[in-house]
Chains A and B, each alone.
Chain A
Amino acid sequence: MSPEILRLVWEATLDTLWMVAVAASLATLIGLPLGVFLATSGRGELFAAPAVNKVLGFVVNATRSTPFIILVVAIIPFTRLLVGTSIGTKAAIVPLTIAAAPFIARLIEGAIREVDGGLVEAARAMGATPLQIVAKVLVPEALPAIVLSLTLAIVSLLGFSAMVGAVGGGGLGDLGIRYGYQRFMPDVMAIVVVVLVVLVQLVQSTGDRLSRRLNKRLRHG
């Protein structure tokens, strides 16, 4: 394999990492509060707003049920408006973020709902405000599950980022399509797959380890 190809793989890997990192951060910024709100705004809950909850839930479901590739194409005007172009790594971040945010929101919602209601009751009995309950009880208690959720989201984003390659998104997917497929270089395709597998493994094991470290429920002695 030529050094030229290896250089291309290295650059594509950095592109992918950059896209996923930025998209994951932005999606978390949106998905975390959204997920917390979804988990606490039902009838009789901390921030009870059942109507808003229903609307947001619907939007989240609609986004999640749109196939990713269609989402990418459908929001091209919006992407162009935001970053000035519809191709390349920067442009890919927009659909990646939009796809990941509701996914993260649902995962976080689930993690928050798993927190024992007795803890919320205890916090209310202490005189905690709803925001204090979120910041001091719900999020810290759900943290191990939240870390696992984000790990899952990052792994999914790695897959999606390879898919935006098919529409000129840059990164490993782009490399695989252009060299491995269009120029028929199966070794490039193979390297791309191996790099993705290694990245997924790294992310997953790091997430697992962090989550376990944060989980004080499992401690013994």
Chain B
Amino acid sequence: MTRPLRSDDLATAVAVPRADGADSAIAFEAVAKIFPARGGGPAVRALDGIDLAVAPGTILGVIGRSGAGKSTLIRLVNGLETPTAGRVVVDGTDVTALTERGLRDVRRRVGMIFQHFNLLSSRTAFDNVALPLEVARVPKAEIRRRVEPLLELVGLSDKRDRYPAELSGGQKQRVGIARALATRPTVLLSDEATSALDPETTRSILDLLSSINRELGLTVLLITHEMSVIRAVAKEVAVLDAGRVVERGDVFDVFTRPRHATTRSFLAAETGHALPPFLRERLRPEAAPGRPTALRILFRGPHATDPVVSQLSREFGLDVNILSGSVDEIAGRPFGTLVVSLAADGPTVERALAFLQARGLDTEVIGHVA
């Protein structure tokens, strides 16, 4: 299944089923955002030709480096930012055509959570969650009826009268999530919501987001710079690089077959994509007599547990030396990588590769062990 990358691969990866406001919860249509030059600095093209749709009830993760335009992208959804060109359609409403007043209605249907929580220090947990309802002029009794279950949902009933200064980071983000859900939105925006949290707390917040997505059927647009976050919650992922979507697809596919250099570099820290240092130092690009060939084999889905190493050595009478490897689960599907070296001549290696490919495994010669 290894084949040379064709240019249209990228096109199919990027060209999403043409964004159509009617059946997407969020749709970006040919969106560009240019921040005008100011104070001697040049204009910044923060987003360029963005076509991206999020199906209702799904979680789309957007990943990109610092400055890639992630925050700008997410802020377009609730009109905190207006695009220079293109349309942004939320639940069938073109938010780019709305006045400030119209936007306020849309904003009540779109919850948002933030990296630094943005809770009011002067309000208790309860009153922070109540704020969007006060803003929407919901009667006091009704506010009480709605806030209590939300605090329960995020597991903070016992902290209802605590001020943010008395809460941990994870608890603050839970309050933030409850607040974002207060107006019963259909869309939840999350801008680096776990970036200020430790791994364990991150995990619990992501679990909460997943269960909210499942149980309330909320559409979630989640921004992050960590692949591990995408992998934990998202079903689909879009990779943003310098204001463009360079890769888009099912999380499992993108993780196991990254096409774009940016995606690969994000994945470097993830399962099997980084080689251990001792191995990297010994790899040479050129073949030479007596240098075993190093091979990366990717096991995807149903093939993840195939006993190919023993088959390989039996079939070709080869010594197969395992250099590094891992088996993992991505988006609920098993995925393994194995780096092996084959002490064999060129033609034998070719035949071994053909053998592996015939079994539906992706292989890649990564060098020669010196």
Contacts and interface: CB of A to CB of B under 8 A. Distances in A.
A116 interface: yes
Contact of A217 (B78, B108, B121, B136): B121
Contacts of A217: 121, 163, 165
A27 B206 CA distance: 50
Interface string A121-145: 1111111110010001100110100
B44 to A, nearest CB: 16
A198 B118 CA distance: 41
Contacts of A220: 165-166
Nearest to B115: A118
Interface string B93-136: 00000000001111110101010101111110000000110111
B121 A125 contact: no
A8 B104 CA distance: 61
Contacts of A183: none
A219 B166 contact: yes
A140 B123 contact: yes
A143 B123 CA distance: 12
A141 B118 contact: no
A125 B112 contact: yes
B53 to A, nearest CB: 22
Contacts of B131: 123, 126, 136
B132 A126 contact: yes
A119 interface: yes
Interface string A22-50: 00000000000000000000000000000
A18 to B, nearest CB: 33
A178 B116 CA distance: 60
Contacts of B224: none
Contact of A137 (B105, B120, B165, B166): B120
Contacts of A137: 120
A128 B165 contact: no
B135 A143 contact: no
A216 to B, nearest CB: 4
Does more than half of chain A's interface fall in helix, strand or loop, or is it mixed?
Answer: helix
A3 interface: no
A218 B118 contact: no
A127 B120 contact: no
A170 to B, nearest CB: 40
Interface string A186-221: 000000000000000000000000000010111111
A126 B163 contact: no
B183 interface: yes
A87 B132 CA distance: 52
Nearest to A144: B122
Contacts of B110: 125
B80 interface: yes
Contact of A122 (B108, B118, B163): B118
B165 A126 contact: no
B166 A141 contact: no
Contact of A126 (B107, B122, B123): B107
A64 B105 CA distance: 43
A42 B108 CA distance: 27
Nearest to B162: A219
Contacts of A116: 118
A119 B118 contact: yes
A196 B163 CA distance: 38
A132 B120 CA distance: 14
A125 B134 contact: no
A208 B183 CA distance: 38
Most buried by B among A118, A124, A141, A214: A124
B33 to A, nearest CB: 16
5 contacts: A125-B189, A126-B135, A127-B132, A216-B123, A217-B121
Interface of B: 78, 80, 103-108, 110, 112, 114, 116, 118-123, 131-132, 134-136, 163-166, 179, 183, 189
Interface of A: 116, 118-119, 121-129, 132, 136-137, 140-141, 143, 214, 216-221
